[in-house]
Amino acid sequence: MATPAKDPGHVRRRGHRRRGAEPARTDPPGAEPAASPDSATELARDLESGHPGWVILWRRWARRYWAFPLWIANAPEPIEAGHVQDLLAQMSDIELQHSPPATNG
């Protein structure tokens, strides 16, 4: 008797993987490898200190960055991205649409 995992005619439901198998990659082709959770958290802190008016978090469980613009009273949903370059591009778009306050530096 063939087991489902060894039966060539067995079709595994979409989204299910063999026990012990690595999860499928969802990053676009050519994307840089995901940062380790600790380095991603540190990078989020560095980004936040370099971008006043923003709160930037690394969502470890989702492996994504979140950014919140603090100067917009009726702020839209937080922006999110899997890679820093994507996050910075979205932050620039928000800053162009809603000019951030001037910083005293």
pLDDT tens, residue by residue, 39-49: 888 999 999 99
Distance between CA atoms of residues 53 and 74, nearest Å: 14
**pLDDT at residue 62 in the model:** 86
Domain boundaries, the chain: 37-97
Instruction: Please name the residue ranges forming H helices in the chain.
Output: 37-50, 84-97
- The pLDDT of 72-97, averaged and rounded, is 88
**Position with higher pLDDT, 89 vs 101:** 89
Q: What is the mean pLDDT of residues 4-24?
A: 56
* Calpha distance 63→99 (Å, rounded): 29
What residues have CB less than 8 Å from 86, skipping those under 6 apart? none
Could you tell me if 69 and 56 are in contact, meaning their C-beta atoms sit under 8 angstroms apart? no
Q: What is the pLDDT of residue 71?
A: 83
Residue 72, pLDDT score: 80
63-81 pLDDT, tens digit per residue, is 899 999 988 877 668 899 9
Query: Does residue 84 have a pLDDT over 90?
Result: yes
pLDDT, residue 57, reads: 93
Q: Please count the CA atoms within 13 angstroms of the CA of 50 that sit on its side-chain side.
A: 8
